[in-house]
């Protein structure tokens, strides 16, 4: 049981309902057997309880932690999170401000303040605050990702691309960042961006051969470039070749998937028809 | 003349060699825990944290810049290195080199370091020398010159004895350095019992996180960044990708519920 909790903790799973189910039983019956682990389990459970709106459980966890670690900044942050969950944003903000007064380098409190703004729907304010935060703490990858999401929501794709570039540089082997970057570039449109997006879809595929989304993206961006009136013949030919290869791979993947049941056979056919129809509109 | 093969009493092995090993080891473990107890918190200012992260970012730009498009790389390089208002040119941090005598926290740190490490070593070395003196403990497997004799054969007054035969004090020092790897096995890396590492740190100068270095660090980064060039790793990525079929093995190893159909 505790091993499961530890695994969830280390992998950053956010399966709050499961955690809450496991935790109640664990805490009530085996508190003495857990030893010192119990404090970190309390923290994990409290966050899960806030997710599931289990205020009672969250309150008990918080009380236990406060008794054990009075004046701890980590506990204060949890208290602030509880206030956030109860939508008492002003009080939560004050709590975080007090943490920051004690310790200006505390990143957790700053991030919670920004998430308060996001929860209230003030996207532009959140973006501004997050920018200031990132000026101070340039290395925080979570924050860069969050900022890119906020920018995508605001349709500011250029800046979102910038954030994703930071992420790609720090994690060059992560195919998901490549793919997200390629999608942003594709959405931005324009010939150069389409070419870039095609390249990054290809890179994502190179890093992980099974990324279907990247495969589809490769197909679409290549077809799009090929269909664009402004390209010269050589580029067009190359892109048609890429698109054909991608379509081939997609078919192959669906064939592999469709080895089993009858339903899957229909999906293979559907994919083929879709690819053909896209070709007709493109060329 | 061939060297005399001294036959050592096996009691020596039992009552001298092994106890010294145990003593050194246990003292090391105790030192480790004591150093943990006496550790003081290091307070970092916001500026230091921020600067260290900026340096990391610039270094990453140099190393992994080839994964982002050329224009983005140039944009960032420009941001850092521009003549008038590039970050590395513009920011000058206030330089206050904390000298060991005036900065109280560094002073206490040094004192604690000395107390926990050097003092026990001296004490125990002396005690061992006093207790286990007057006989030969062990033989080092390689020949030594006569110069080493007074150092390694502290209690033994034989002029003709080969310098390879050493006394217990030298066995103790051998242990101190030899058990280092044992400590990392048992106590994990970065343990407080690792004396030679600490001595190395003391020799290589004051602590690395000194603020005075920030300006120099910036300058070094500026130079390094000026020199880096952008070689896009993605030039021929499509060709490489399409040279062979995708590896889709094991992708659909179990039945996934398809939602649409």
Higher pLDDT among residues B248 and A196, named by residue: A196
What is d(CA B144, CA B164) in angstroms, rounded to the nearest whole number? 6
| pLDDT-based confidence at residue B257 (cuts at 50, 70, 90) | low
Judging contacts by C-beta atoms under 8 Å, the chain B residues touching residue A206 are 237, 240-241
What is d(CA B45, CA B54) in angstroms, rounded to the nearest whole number? 14
Judging contacts by C-beta atoms under 8 Å, the chain B residues touching residue A259 are 252
Residue A30 has pLDDT above 80, yes or no: no
* In chain A, residues 151-190 whose CB comes closer than 8 Å to chain B: 161-162, 165-166, 168-170, 172
**Mean pLDDT, to the nearest integer, of A94-110?**
86
The pLDDT of residue B206 is 38
**Mean pLDDT, to the nearest integer, of A124-143?**
88
Lookup result for tokens 């994690």: A171
Three-state DSSP at A132 gives helix
**How is residue A49 written in tokens?**
């309880």
Residue B205 has pLDDT above 50, yes or no: no
Q: Establish if B207 touches chain A: CB-CB under 8 angstroms.
A: no
The pLDDT of residue B127 is 82
Are B225 and B88 contacting, i.e. CB atoms less than 8 angstroms apart? yes
What pLDDT, in 10s, does the model give residues A217-231? Answer: 888 888 888 888 887
CA B227 to chain centre: 29
Higher pLDDT among residues A172 and B209, named by residue: A172
Task: Indicate yes or no: CB of A249 within 8 angstroms of CB of B245.
Answer: yes
Q: Establish if A237 touches chain B: CB-CB under 8 angstroms.
A: no
Three-state DSSP at A8 gives helix
Residue B224 has pLDDT above 60, yes or no: yes
| pLDDT-based confidence at residue A237 (cuts at 50, 70, 90) | confident
Residue A208 has a CB neighbour count (10 Å cut-off) of 17
Residue A261 has pLDDT above 80, yes or no: no
Give how far Cα B43 sits from Cα of A170, B35, B47, B48, Å: 27, 18, 12, 10
The pLDDT of residue B200 is 55
Three-state DSSP at B166 gives strand
Between A and B, how many CB-CB pairs are < 8 A?
Answer: 96
Judging contacts by C-beta atoms under 8 Å, the chain A residues touching residue B68 are 165, 168-169
Candidate from A26-30, A44-48, B57-61 with smallest mean pLDDT: A26-30
Residue A136 main-chain phi, psi, to 5 deg: -80, -40
Mean residue pLDDT across chain B: 71
| pLDDT-based confidence at residue A152 (cuts at 50, 70, 90) | very high
Backbone conformation region of residue A87, classed left if phi is above 0, alpha if psi is from -120 to 50, else beta: left
What is d(CA A243, CA A239) in angstroms, rounded to the nearest whole number? 6
Q: Establish if B261 touches chain A: CB-CB under 8 angstroms.
A: yes
DSSP letter for each residue of A224-254 = HHHH-TTS-HHHHHHHHHHHHHHHHHHHHHH
Burial A232-253 (b: 16+ CB within 10 A, else e): eeeebebbbebbbbbbebbeeb
Judging contacts by C-beta atoms under 8 Å, the chain B residues touching residue A257 are 251-252, 256
Task: Give the distance from residue B94's alpha carbon to the nearest chain A alpha carbon, in angstroms.
Answer: 17
Three-state DSSP at B156 gives coil
What pLDDT, in 10s, does the model give residues A108-130? Answer: 888 888 888 888 888 888 999 89
Q: Establish if B227 touches chain A: CB-CB under 8 angstroms.
A: no
Task: Indicate yes or no: CB of A266 within 8 angstroms of CB of B261.
Answer: yes
**How is residue A212 written in tokens?**
């279907």
What is d(CA A198, CA A219) in angstroms, rounded to the nearest whole number? 8
In this prediction the ipTM stands at 0.75
The pLDDT of residue A75 is 87
Choose from A25-29, A51-55, B11-15, B152-156 the range with maximum mean pLDDT: A51-55
Task: Give the distance from residue B137's alpha carbon to the nearest chain A alpha carbon, in angstroms.
Answer: 46
**Mean pLDDT, to the nearest integer, of A69-94?**
86
Task: Indicate yes or no: CB of A205 within 8 angstroms of CB of B246.
Answer: yes
Candidate from A7-11, A81-85, B197-201 with smallest mean pLDDT: B197-201
For chain A, how big is the Rg over CA atoms in Å?
Answer: 24
Residue A66 has pLDDT above 70, yes or no: yes
Look at residues A282, A281, A255, A256 and name the one whose alpha carbon lies nearest to residue A270: A255
Residue B148 has a CB neighbour count (10 Å cut-off) of 14
* In chain A, residues 30-89 whose CB comes closer than 8 Å to chain B: none
The pLDDT of residue A31 is 66
Are B189 and B204 contacting, i.e. CB atoms less than 8 angstroms apart? no
Sign of the torsion angle spanned by Cα atoms A32, A35, A38, A39: positive
| pLDDT-based confidence at residue B100 (cuts at 50, 70, 90) | very low
What is d(CA B6, CA A172) in angstroms, rounded to the nearest whole number? 63
Give how far Cα A103 sits from Cα of A100, A126, B50, Å: 5, 22, 14
**Mean pLDDT, to the nearest integer, of A172-183?**
91
Report the DSSP beta bridge partners of residue B166. B138
Torsion of CA B120, B126, B129, B132, to 10 degrees: -60
Task: Give the distance from residue A165's alpha carbon to the nearest chain B alpha carbon, in angstroms.
Answer: 6
Over pLDDT 90: what percentage of chain B? Answer: 0
Are A131 and A147 contacting, i.e. CB atoms less than 8 angstroms apart? yes
Task: Give the distance from residue A54's alpha carbon to the nearest chain B alpha carbon, in angstroms.
Answer: 32
DSSP letter for each residue of A48-78 = HHHHTT-HHHHHHHHHHHHHHSTT-HHHHHH
**Mean pLDDT, to the nearest integer, of A131-158?**
90
Residue B254 has pLDDT above 90, yes or no: no
The pLDDT of residue B91 is 65
What is d(CA B55, CA B64) in angstroms, rounded to the nearest whole number? 14
Mean residue pLDDT across chain A: 83
What is d(CA B233, CA B65) in angstroms, rounded to the nearest whole number? 9
Judging contacts by C-beta atoms under 8 Å, the chain A residues touching residue B257 are none
Q: Establish if B241 touches chain A: CB-CB under 8 angstroms.
A: yes
The pLDDT of residue A151 is 92
Residue B204 has pLDDT above 60, yes or no: no
**How is residue A99 written in tokens?**
């943490």
Over pLDDT 70: what percentage of chain A? Answer: 91
Of B44, B65, B248, the CB nearest to A169: B65
Q: Establish if A262 touches chain B: CB-CB under 8 angstroms.
A: no
Task: Give the distance from residue B104's alpha carbon to the nearest chain A alpha carbon, in angstroms.
Answer: 21
Give how far Cα A194 sits from Cα of A218, B8, B66, Å: 10, 82, 19
CA A206 to chain centre: 21
**How is residue A33 written in tokens?**
């057997």
* B110 Cβ neighbours under 8 A, 6+ residues apart: B100
**Mean pLDDT, to the nearest integer, of B209-228?**
74
| pLDDT-based confidence at residue B90 (cuts at 50, 70, 90) | low
**Mean pLDDT, to the nearest integer, of B85-103?**
58
Choose from A236-245, B75-84, B111-120, B246-255 the range with maximum mean pLDDT: A236-245
Q: Establish if B242 touches chain A: CB-CB under 8 angstroms.
A: yes
What pLDDT, in 10s, does the model give residues B175-186? Answer: 878 877 777 777
Judging contacts by C-beta atoms under 8 Å, the chain B residues touching residue A270 are 261
Are A217 and A182 contacting, i.e. CB atoms less than 8 angstroms apart? yes
Task: Indicate yes or no: CB of A138 within 8 angstroms of CB of B53.
Answer: yes
**Mean pLDDT, to the nearest integer, of A162-181?**
90
**Mean pLDDT, to the nearest integer, of A31-41?**
74
What pLDDT, in 10s, does the model give residues B47-73? Answer: 778 888 888 888 888 888 888 888 888
**Mean pLDDT, to the nearest integer, of B216-222?**
81
Task: Indicate yes or no: CB of A172 within 8 angstroms of CB of B67.
Answer: yes
Find the helix packing angle between B70-81 and B46-64, rounded to 10°.
140
Sign of the torsion angle spanned by Cα atoms A189, A195, A196, A199: positive
Q: Establish if A256 touches chain B: CB-CB under 8 angstroms.
A: yes
Of A206, A209, A256, the CB nearest to B237: A206
Three-state DSSP at A162 gives helix
Choose from A176-190, B70-84, B110-124 the range with maximum mean pLDDT: A176-190
């Amino acid at each position: 049981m505790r091993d499961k909790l530890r695994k969830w903790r280390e992998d950053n799973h956010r399966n709050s309902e499961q955690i809450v189910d496991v935790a109640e039983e664990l805490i009530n019956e085996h508190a003495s057997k857990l030893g010192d682990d119990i404090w970190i389990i309390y923290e994990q459970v409290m966050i899960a309880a806030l997710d599931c709106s289990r205020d009672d459980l969250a309150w008990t966890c918080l009380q236990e932690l406060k008794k054990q670690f009075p004046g701890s900044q980590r506990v204060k942050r949890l208290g602030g999170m509880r206030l956030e969950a109860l939508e008492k944003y002003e009080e939560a903000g004050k709590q975080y401000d007090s943490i920051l007064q004690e310790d200006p380098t505390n990143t957790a409190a700053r991030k919670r303040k920004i998430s308060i703004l996001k929860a209230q729907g003030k996207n532009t304010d959140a973006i501004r605050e997050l920018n200031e935060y990132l000026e101070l703490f340039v290395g925080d990858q979570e924050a860069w990702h969050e900022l890119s999401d906020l920018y995508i929501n605001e349709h500011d794709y250029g800046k979102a691309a910038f954030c994703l570039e930071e992420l790609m540089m720090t994690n060059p082997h992560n195919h998901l960042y490549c793919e997200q970057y390629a999608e942003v570039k594709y959405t931005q449109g324009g010939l150069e961006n389409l070419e870039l997006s095609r390249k990054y879809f290809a890179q994502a595929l190179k890093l992980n051969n099974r990324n279907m989304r990247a495969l589809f993206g490769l197909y679409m961006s290549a077809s799009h470039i090929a269909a664009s009136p402004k390209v010269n013949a050589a580029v067009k030919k190359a892109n048609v070749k890429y698109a054909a290869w991608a379509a081939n791979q997609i078919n192959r993947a669906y064939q592999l998937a469709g080895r089993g049941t009858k339903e899957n056979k229909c999906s293979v056919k559907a994919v083929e028809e879709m690819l053909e129809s896209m070709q007709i509109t493109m060329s | 003349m061939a060297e005399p093969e001294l036959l050592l009493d096996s009691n020596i092995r039992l009552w001298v060699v092994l106890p010294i090993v145990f003593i050194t080891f246990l003292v090391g473990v105790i030192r480790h825990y004591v150093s943990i107890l006496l550790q003081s918190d290091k307070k970092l200012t916001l500026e230091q944290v921020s600067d260290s992260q900026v340096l990391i970012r610039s270094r990453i730009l140099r190393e992994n810049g080839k994964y982002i498009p050329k224009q983005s790389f140039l944009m960032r390089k420009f941001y850092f290195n521009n003549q008038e208002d590039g970050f590395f040119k513009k920011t000058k941090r206030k330089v206050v080199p904390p000298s060991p005598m005036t900065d109280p926290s560094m002073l206490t740190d040094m004192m604690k370091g000395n107390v926990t490490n050097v003092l026990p070593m001296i004490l125990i070395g002396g005690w061992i020398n006093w207790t286990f003196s007057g006989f030969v403990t062990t033989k080092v497997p390689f020949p030594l010159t006569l110069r080493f004799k007074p150092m390694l054969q502290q209690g033994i007054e034989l002029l003709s004895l080969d310098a390879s035969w050493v006394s217990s004090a030298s066995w103790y020092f051998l242990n101190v350095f030899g058990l280092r790897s044992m400590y990392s096995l048992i106590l994990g890396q970065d343990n407080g019992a690792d004396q030679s590492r600490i001595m190395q740190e003391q020799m290589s100068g004051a602590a690395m996180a000194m603020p005075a270095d920030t300006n120099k660090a910036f300058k070094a980064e500026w130079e390094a960044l000026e020199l880096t060039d952008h070689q896009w790793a993605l030039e021929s990525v499509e060709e490489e990708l399409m040279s062979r079929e995708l590896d889709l093995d094991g992708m659909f190893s179990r039945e996934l519920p398809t939602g649409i159909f």
